[in-house]
Amino acid sequence: MPAVEKQAAADQYAAVEKQEYRDAMARLGSAVNIITTDGPGGRAGFTASAVCSVTDSPPTLLVCLNRSASVYPVFKENQVLCVNTLADCHESLSNLFGGKTPTEQRFEAARWMRLATGSPILTDALVSFDCKVTQITSVGTHDILFCEAVALRRNDDSHGLVYFDRRYHPLMRQLAC
Ligand SMILES: NC(=O)c1ccc[n+]([C@@H]2O[C@H](COP(=O)([O-])OP(=O)(O)OC[C@H]3O[C@@H](n4cnc5c(N)ncnc54)[C@H](O)[C@@H]3O)[C@@H](O)[C@H]2O)c1
Ligand SMILES: Cc1cc2c(cc1C)N(C[C@H](O)[C@H](O)[C@H](O)COP(=O)(O)O)c1[nH]c(=O)[nH]c(=O)c1N2
């Protein structure tokens, strides 16, 4: 089909209204993560549910970051980040990093260490992916950061945390007895 006709065919679909889309997205349960960075641009961190695995070769995750977030310029400059996937005990930490709280207050509330990139690793996270940002694509209000994992840390005894229907839910692992 010629490009003009393809465009005309696509234009016949109206976009779903924003609130209706959010109400629908609230039905998708997801892991909750605190994304951190440190480097020439300074230290920053925010809560993100828009995170997923892209490929294992090379081991790559994606993180969606709203360009209007206060932390955006810091992540853009540093080009490294850590995806810290939260455990069941981290509900209040998730809210702290998801709101309007100043950076120092966010980081004071937990214990951190470093691995390869210098990004803060949450010591009791379920799992942490220390990454370099390899590619960025803008879609609408967000940037999609493609992140290659260069180091990992796991806490195999922790339970998970899921964000579903605008609430947090603990997700129990079957632990060996
Ligand atoms: N991807 C995101 O940027 C994203 C995801 C989850 C929550 N949030 C923010 O966290 C706060 C609380 O969220 P909530 O789930 O309690 O209620 P909500 O009604 O704002 O969002 C419902 C769902 O819609 C999606 N969503 C919300 N805002 C979005 C955005 N700007 N871009 C893309 N998808 C978005 C998410 O899947 C979210 O769980 C809100 O300020 C929300 O904007 C942002
Ligand atoms: C459960 C949950 C999940 C998400 C968020 C919030 C919460 C509570 N937020 C919002 C994000 O954390 C917030 O905008 C940042 O903390 C930046 O806020 P300030 O601009 O610094 O106030 C968020 N933002 C984003 O850009 N991508 C995402 O995937 C998510 N996911």
Query: Would you say residue 168 has pLDDT above 80?
Result: yes
Two tokens at 10?
């696509």
Contacting residues for 148 by C-beta, under 8 A, at least 6 apart = 58, 59, 60, 131, 132, 134
Quick check: 74 and 41 in contact, CB under 8 A? yes
Q: What is the total residue count of the chain?
A: 177
> Which residue's CA lies nearest to atom 27 of ligand 1?
22
> Which residue's CA lies nearest to atom 21 of ligand 2?
70
What's the pLDDT tens digit per position in 139-160?
Answer: 999 999 999 999 999 999 999 9
3-state secondary structure of 30: strand
What's the pLDDT tens digit per position in 77-119?
Answer: 999 999 999 999 999 999 999 988 999 999 999 999 999 999 9
| Phi-psi map region of 12: left, alpha, beta (phi>0 left; psi -120 to 50 alpha) | alpha
What's the pLDDT tens digit per position in 14-60?
Answer: 899 999 999 999 999 999 999 999 999 999 999 999 999 999 999 99
Two tokens at 177?
């007895």
Cα(87) to centroid of ligand 1, in Å?
20
Domains detected in the chain: 33-163 (2.30.110.10)
Cα(176) to centroid of ligand 1, in Å?
36
Respond yes or no on whether the N-terminal peptide bond of residue 170 is cis (omega within 30° of 0): no
Q: Which of 150, 145, 129, 148 is nearest to 77 (CA)?
A: 145
Per-residue model confidence (pLDDT) at position 30 = 98
